[in-house]
Amino acid sequence: MRTSSLEYPSIHGQGMTSQRTRDKLVLRLREKGITDERVLEAIGKVPRHLFVDEALASRAYEDTALPIGLGQTISQPYIVALMTAQLLRNGIPEKVLEVGTGSGYQAAVLSHLVPQVFSVERIDKLLRQARRCFHRAGLRNIYTRHADGRLGWPSQAPFPAIILTAAGTQLEELLLEQLADGGSLIAPLGTAGAQRLVEYTRSGDVFERKDLCDVSFVPLLSGLD
């Protein structure tokens, strides 16, 4: 397991953004059934208030999704923890492809757990904001790209783990092709109000699907903004 010694001396937060508040969030996630201590430790380390608008900083450690502008949201911590734990259940992958950088929070959590995170975002403004957050938090193992996430990151493939943070109505073949043999892909699929979190595992040219739970994500869109 890769461990992190990152510290946030100037960005620990105060009051509703303090480490004590992060510890309370970890406790709530444990009570809701998250048992992977590696994931809980990572959640406790990441200053989520950096990844939301300053006006919402006091709500950063609520277990809820929050708006980040441009029609996008920062995912609910429980869902981030659930998806991350599922991705790591067979061991720590050497690298992960994230489709949909968004606020950068999911990538930040992953960065404490895997050696390399490759994250793709189609909205340039969001990506620039996320990069600033990564820099401020001292996260140097996250590699980002402004591109259509449905195309993945072919030059870095294959990936032993892939995670999608936006929902398509079906899974893109290009992403399945970039999944390494024996690898796992976690994604929300479906239309608004009828989405399921699913996991695909690859064995040669065979992909086995497992449904996990109901979720609600922003749609996976094509093109660049």
pLDDT digits 0-9 by tens, 206-223? 999 999 999 999 999 999
Among positive and negative, which fits the CA dihedral 132, 137, 143, 148? negative
- Architecture of domain 65-215 in this structure: 3-Layer(aba) Sandwich (3.40)
- Residue 197: predicted pLDDT: 97
**If residue 66 lies in a helix (H) or strand (E), which one and from where to where?**
strand 66-69
Q: Is 111 exposed, middle or buried (0-12, 13-18, 19+ CB in 10 A)?
A: buried
What local confidence, expressed as pLDDT, does residue 65 receive? 95
pLDDT in tens, 159-194: 999 999 999 999 999 999 999 999 999 999 999 889
Rounded CA-CA distance 131/184 in Å is 26
- What's the pTM? 0.91
Residues 58-68 have pLDDT tens digits of 999 999 999 99
User: 15 pLDDT exceeds 70?
Assistant: no
Question: Which of the listed ranges 51-60, 65-74, 157-166 does the model predict with the highest average pLDDT?
Answer: 157-166
Residue 155 clears pLDDT 50, i.e. is over it = yes
**Statement: residue 124 has pLDDT above 70:** yes
Question: Starting at the edge strand that comes first in sequence, how are the strands of the sheet with 142-146 ordered?
Answer: 142-146, 116-121, 95-99, 159-164, 179-191, 194-203, 206-215
Active site residue 111: no
Pairing of strands 179-191, 159-164: parallel
Please give the distance of CA 37 from its chain centroid, rounded to a whole number: 17
Mean pLDDT across 63-75:
94
Q: What is the mean pLDDT of the chain?
A: 92
Query: What is the helix (H) or strand (E) element at residue 161, kind and residue range?
Result: strand 159-164
| Active-site residue (options: 75, 103, 111, 184) | 75
Residue 156 is encoded by which pair of tokens? Answer: 């870095």
pLDDT at 57 over 60: yes
